[in-house]
Amino acid sequence: MKMKERLFTPGPTPVPPEVLLAMAAPMTHHRQAAFEKLFASVSGKLKTVFQTTSPVVILAGSGTSAMEGSIVNLLSAGDKALSVNAGKFGERWGQIGKAYGVNMQVLDVPWGEAVDPARIEAALKADPSIKAVYATLHETSTTVLTDIKAIGAITHASGAILVVDAISGLAADVLRMDEWGVDVVVAGSQKALMLPPGLAFAAIGPKAQEAMKKSTLPKFYLSFDKALKNLEKNTTPYTPAVSVVIALETALSQLIAEGIETVWTRHAKLAEATRAGILAMGMALFSKAPSNAATSVLLPENVDGSALHKKLRDEYKITCAGGQDQMKGKIERIAHMGYYDQFDVLVVIGALELALKDLGAPVKVGEGVAAAQRCFAEK
């Protein structure tokens, strides 16, 4: 049967047709009133999605550019900072810090597990000169959710700045920036915001804005100070990715019409049903603290993860993500962040059952989709 192409990757994610059409809008110049009005509108809507009253700067770049921005704008060479390395993206905080001469203390966490917030509390108590904590809401490489609320309470008490990489978590997992005391939230366009890649975001709270004044690390393109000053005038210091900003208005309008709390609930249901489907077909989960953004299947010893990934992609036209680094070939990651509904879960669980059976795994075909379906019916 001719299959449709379907994307279940943790970014890029499927983009709604209305947003794709917005990407094709005629080009417009950014230094004029009409674009500034659009920019003001998306800036306001972003605050709702980030759950903050602080400004959210928009960069032309991938998520990593905003991560780097959150280091070079807040710290100086030799400053002490703490980062959580529970996977490939948490590791990146340490790598960026190292590139800039930050004295980054790295908390290593086994892949598949979430950091125990008490370790952060202990580290901050042991060394009160630590200026900032860098964490990850949803660690994409392991599909693990971090308890940012607990960490926020700890950094709030200690005075350290809390920076959260919410690139793949924002609008999928609950994140209440202001309420939880998060100082900087970093995001990217191509995840649950339902946009093509090309924009990075950083919401910058008052404590972080204070820290910016003392930071001496070199920066130019990623200067938050310039971005904030331009944001006040509803513009950017350098040419923005105009098409994605136009599409952002459409995507944010859809999210806000649905309601951010409802968006979170939808993701919780998608994740719950995906987990139920995987368990019911006889497979196991890899993440010990599963997120609502993506789910990873821990594969049986006799199943080659790259063969599974290829079969899903080439035979069933379902593109998920394999394991990275130490988990290469051992897990398959199913993203459900962004433009997904309950029937998409049936599709991906259905394909997973068939592909695993083809590869000789002991799956109970039909049990997975039935369990997912029941999960939705019960709610």
Q: Does 24 bind a copy of itself (CB under 8 A)?
A: yes
Q: Minimum distance from CB of 188 to a copy of itself (Å)?
A: 7
Among 95, 103, 105, 234, binds a copy of itself (CB under 8 A): 95
Provide the 8-state DSSP code for 28.
-
Q: Give min distance, CB of 89 to a copy of itself, in A.
A: 11
Positions 248 through 307 that interact with a copy of itself (CB under 8 A): none
Rounded to whole angstroms, the Cα distance separating 119 from 182 reads: 18
User: What is the closest distance, in whole angstroms, from the C-beta atom of residue 359 to a copy of itself in the complex?
Assistant: 20
Q: How many CB atoms within 10 Å of residue 336?
A: 28
- For position 13 contacting a copy of itself by CB under 8 A, the verdict is yes
Cβ-based nearer residue to a copy of itself, 5 or 378: 5
Residue 96's alpha-carbon distances to 87, 132, 165, 245, in angstroms, are 15, 14, 13, 27
Closest CB to a copy of itself among residues 153, 217: 217
State yes or no: residue 165 binds a copy of itself (CB under 8 A): no
Among 63, 277, 305, 323, binds a copy of itself (CB under 8 A): 63
CA distance 319 to 8: 6
What are the residues whose beta carbons fall under 8 Å from the beta carbon of 377, sequence distance 6 or more? none
Subset of 25-54 contacting a copy of itself (CB under 8 A): 25-32
158 binds a copy of itself (CB under 8 A): no
Q: What is the largest CA-CA distance in the chain?
A: 62
Least spacing, CB of residue 171 vs a copy of itself, in Å: 16
**Segment 187 to 206, residues that bind a copy of itself, using CB under 8 A:** 188, 190, 196-198
Beta strands in 234-302 (DSSP E): 284-285, 294-298
Q: Using the rule CB under 8 A, is 68 a contact of a copy of itself? A: yes
The residue within the footprint of a copy of itself, chosen from 49, 58, 75, 96 (CB under 8 A), is 96
Written as six digits, the tokens of 271 are 């994740």
Compute the least distance from the CB of residue 131 to a copy of itself, in Å: 18
Q: Which contiguous run of DSSP H or E holds residue 267?
A: helix 260-280
What interhelical angle do 88-99 and 63-72 show, nearest 10? 40
CB of 337 to a copy of itself, least distance (A): 13
CB 197 within 8 A of CB 188: yes
CB of 119 to a copy of itself, least distance (A): 26
Residue 222 found at the interface with a copy of itself (CB under 8 A):
yes
Q: Find the part of the chain contacting a copy of itself (CB under 8 A) among 48-56, 218-226, 281-289, 357-365.
A: 218-226
- 12 contacts a copy of itself (rule: CB under 8 A): yes
**CB-based contacts of 64: which residues, under 8 Å, 6+ apart?**
92, 96, 200
| Location of structure tokens 């940012």 | 148
Q: Does 3 bind a copy of itself (CB under 8 A)?
A: no
CB closer to a copy of itself, 216 vs 326: 216
> Whole-number minimum distance, CB 20 to a copy of itself, in Å?
4
Place of tokens 């005391």: 181
Comparing CA positions, the residue from 360, 255, 354 lying closest to residue 300 is 360
225 binds a copy of itself (CB under 8 A): no
Q: Nearest distance from residue 125's CB to a copy of itself, in Å?
A: 30
d(C-alpha 264, C-alpha 114), whole Å? 20
Query: CA-CA distances (angstroms) from residue 83 to 32, 106, 114, 130, 326?
Result: 41, 5, 13, 11, 20
Residues that bind a copy of itself (CB under 8 A): 5, 7, 9, 11-15, 20-21, 23-32, 59-65, 68, 95-96, 99-101, 188, 190, 196-198, 217-222, 238-244, 313, 319
